[in-house]
Chain A
Amino acid sequence: MYNPIDTEASLLAGLAQGNRKATEAIYKQHIRPIKSWIGQHGGDEDDVADIFQEAMVVLYEKAQKDDFRLSCKIGTYLFAICKHLWYKKLQKDQKAPDILSTDAGLDEGKDWAYEDDLNAHTERETHYQLLHDAMEQLGEPCSSLLKAFYHNDKSMQEIAAEFGYTNPDNAKTQKYKCLTRLRKIFYVAKAKW
């Protein structure tokens, strides 16, 4: 029997695990109203893709949390997030100064209840960006080594072969060295920020 709550819950569970089927289902189900809404508010196809992707990431990150619970339907949540992101973008581009405060919360009355989610999202993105920057500053071979491990999903064996270490344990030691340096750079950068 069809039960939308079950379906949504299972979709979200799938999404949290990065399940492709679940993600695609959510994507296909909800992009249309957002597409037309952004279209009506001066955005083009690329804007839709960017905004919707960002909203999906917000939902994905939210779903990662142990205490995750969605107080509304996925569609409502995504739509609210997209609206917020779009207004933010407009504001940033100075196309529409101050539109956020006036007309933003009208639709559901609680659109901006997700403000916290978005703030958390922004903070997280900054965090990741700092991490990324720190990794860039590491220098070789650490930068490549950590990227191979954390970005490209390579095993320690592969890395040992690729970077010319005699055995995976040596590579591992090197990795820890690099991590220590990364941690230093990262926390310095974070303190500054």
Chain B
Amino acid sequence: MIGQDFNNWELAEAYVANKLSASELANLHKRLSSETDFASDFNECVSMLLSLDQSKKQRQFRNMLVHIHHENETNASNWRVRTIPLRTHYLRTGAIAAGIAILTTISTFSIISHNEKKRSSQYSLLRRELETIKRSQSALIKNINETATTPVTPANYSGTGVALSNDGYFVTNYHVVAGADSIYIQRKDGHYYKAVLSTFDEKSDVAIIKVEDKNFKIGKGELPYRFATTKNPLGSKVFTLGYPQDEIVYNEGYISAKNGYLGDSLQYRLELPASPGQSGAPVTDNNGNIIALVTGKESESEGTTYAVGAKAIVKLISNSDLSLRLPQSNKLGKMSREQQIQSMEQYTCSVKVYKK
């Protein structure tokens, strides 16, 4: 039976390969028509062999296709050469488009920057130029008393600063102390103290200065006010103490917008009269929290002032490595305004800056 089986395979193989002679073929056909068992077995063999054959051919064909494909891929450079005319065709259009784009960019930029200039001219910093101002009486007096620590020539600029701690840290605007050769603070009583720039952030316009004298103490114990880290609501009544002149000056107003100049979210916009010399002046709310520092004003409308929020100060300190702990308690809350001012006066001082 098994032998029979193999004979059938052999026969089928020869049949598929077309190797049977005419007489063998005739014999085969005769058997196929007479022996049904043989016929079905033989046909299965043939179809099996044909399938194997075909699948082999197809496999070879696929291999060939893959080969052709790879060859074409490696010759792809020829294709790219052909695409060049298309590119040059678009070159002119592209060049024109690019030209228009550049022109638009430049003109837009120039218009915007022109506007910027116009805008920045509306903003003036509130440091005071002192060249034309005569030295004050108090300075003169102090000059006699404390010649050693008193600057000989009048300051070029002045601003206002407020104490951050009891041991000589003050905060003011960066634009007040920028480029300074020497910085002095002058307290309300007229005393001068030499200070150095500790750290600053130009963007938010905040600078921290430190009195050089290690024994310097501004008051007894903790400072009576604290620095607010959250923004006060619109309309909050605020007041400020500053040195637009050699005497401390009080002003009051309210928060008119929660964002400052050109939408600067670090700043407040205030309706509060301010004049040169008040840069860095503390802006305090009714409860005695310092909420901001006066930094600038709108030059075209009187009374609009911009102040950088106290958050910027806190941020600057936390980003620096100063060993500086801000006062946490507020002792001004229940005081009357006059008492608050009296207390604040002690800690607010004039910042005088000398440049060559």
Contacts and interface: CB of A to CB of B under 8 A. Distances in A.
B346 to A, nearest CB: 75
A128 B6 contact: no
Given A24-B68, A64-B54, A186 B6 contact: no
B57 to A, nearest CB: 6
Interface in B41-75: 44-45, 48-49, 51-62, 64-66, 68-69, 72
Chain B interface size, as a band, is 20 to 34
Contact of A183 (B48, B55, B66, B68): B48
A177 B10 CA distance: 11
A179 B9 contact: yes
B5 interface: yes
A27 B72 contact: yes
Q: Which 5 A-B pairs have the closest CB atoms?
A: A176-B9, A176-B6, A128-B55, A53-B65, A150-B52
Given A28-B72, A180-B9, A183-B48, A57 B58 contact: yes
21 contacts: A18-B61, A20-B68, A24-B68, A27-B69, A28-B72, A31-B72, A53-B62, A53-B69, A56-B61, A57-B62, A57-B65, A64-B54, A128-B54, A131-B51, A146-B52, A150-B56, A151-B56, A151-B59, A179-B45, A183-B44, A186-B48
A18 B62 contact: no
A56 B51 contact: no
Interface in A81-116: none
Chief secondary structure at chain B's binding surface = helix
A131 B55 CA distance: 9
A176 B5 contact: yes
B48 A182 contact: yes
Contacts of B45: 179, 183
B48 A61 contact: no
Given A131-B51, A182-B48, A18 B57 contact: yes
A176 B72 contact: no
A176 B9 CA distance: 6
Interface string A1-44: 00000000000000000101001100110010000000000000
Interface string A149-161: 0110100000000
Given A57-B65, A61-B58, A128-B58, 9 more contacts: A20-B68, A131-B55, A150-B56, A177-B6, A179-B45, A179-B49, A183-B45, A186-B48, A187-B44
Chief secondary structure at chain A's binding surface = helix
A73 interface: no
Contact of A60 (B51, B55, B58, B68): B58
Contacts of A20: 64, 68
Contacts of A183: 44-45, 48
A73 to B, nearest CB: 20
A49 interface: yes
A39 B160 CA distance: 69
A173 B60 CA distance: 26
B55 A132 contact: yes
A49 B69 contact: yes
B147 to A, nearest CB: 84
Nearest to A180: B5
A152 B59 CA distance: 10
Contacts of A151: 56, 59
Contact of B64 (A23, A128, A176): A23
A131 B52 contact: yes
Interface string A120-150: 0000000110011000000000000010001
Nearest to B12: A179
A167 B45 CA distance: 24
